[in-house]
Structure 1
Amino acid sequence: MREFTKEEFAWYNGKNGNPTYIAYKGKVYDVTTSFLWKDGEHQVQHKAGEDLTKYLEDAPHGEELLERFPVVGELKE
């Protein structure tokens, strides 16, 4: 499985044709196909290419939602 540095991961921001990736608890998910992540933004609060671990506990959904998307790697600390 691919390991991403934070610098590499930031490139996957859903802008300019780049894939849309988010991280949660060290796993990197490809959410490119989700209409909720259009143009790399979600609900005008979150941006792709970022670790969203600290935000998910306040979200109206749980981590089970991420199971819909493929895991494409791991985010290195």
Structure 2
Amino acid sequence: MDFYTTVLRKSAGYWIALCLDNGIVGQGITQEAAIKQLNEAIASFLEVYKIESDIYYTSVSIEELHEFLTVENTRFI
């Protein structure tokens, strides 16, 4: 089993889970749902990553993490 560092935050009524190791996100009504979506997204990514040679990913930078944690809820009218 692989372990990943994940940050959760609530935004506009949804929980968002961000994997700091690869920048993949999941979203759900509950924290558990967001983590489940994130796990599924990571599993899908890893399947493709194994067969595609030109996929690049990197960990989330401090600046990106700061933006993720500080962006306020935005509502579009």
Greater strand fraction, Structure 1 or Structure 2: 1
> Could you say which structure has the greater relative contact order, defined with CA pairs below 8 angstroms and 6 or more residues apart?
1
Q: Same fold, TM exceeding 0.5?
A: no
Compute the TM-score of the two structures, normalised by the length of structure 1.
0.26
Give the TM-score, by structure 2 length. Answer: 0.26
